[in-house]
Amino acid sequence: MIHEAKRALVLAPASKPEHTLETMAKHTPERMCICCRSKSIKHTLFRMVVDRSRLVFDRKQTIGGRGFYICPDLTCIEKCLNGKKIKKIVNKDLEGLTALKEIMKREVGVRWLK
């Protein structure tokens, strides 16, 4: 009799906690700025993608490929896109960094005006 009771306890499936919207916190993706290394919510950062030998500003954050994130802060943009920092991360010489820097600076202005 005792063996049957132990056997029933061992074979009984363990009850799993139920996951509901109230018990689960919603996941918000975080990314790190490649310049200042601070973490922030993904949609608040600027995303860049390397396409061949060009660095492309990914405004909608949907372009495929290796992406890099930068804070929407002028100091981070200046420091990162001066050439040394981004070349070290990407491991190749890139074209059009000055044009990309100007686009991102304008985007910072647009974000702060909203």
| pLDDT, mean of residues 14-21 | 61
Work out the pLDDT band at 114, boundaries 50, 70, 90.
very low
Res 17: pLDDT = 59
Output the pLDDT for position 46: 92
Q: Is residue 88 part of a domain?
A: yes
Q: Is residue 13 part of a domain?
A: no
- 22 versus 62: the higher-pLDDT residue is 62
| pLDDT confidence of residue 100 | 80
Domain annotation covers residue 36: yes
For residue 97, the enclosing domain spans 31-113
Does 74 reside within a domain? yes
User: What digits encode the pLDDT tens for the residues 33-71?
Assistant: 998 999 999 999 999 888 877 788 898 999 998 888 999
The CATH number covering residue 84 comes to 3.30.1230.10
- Judge whether 7 lies within some domain: no
Rounded CA-CA distance 33/105 in Å is 16
Overall number of domains in the chain? 1
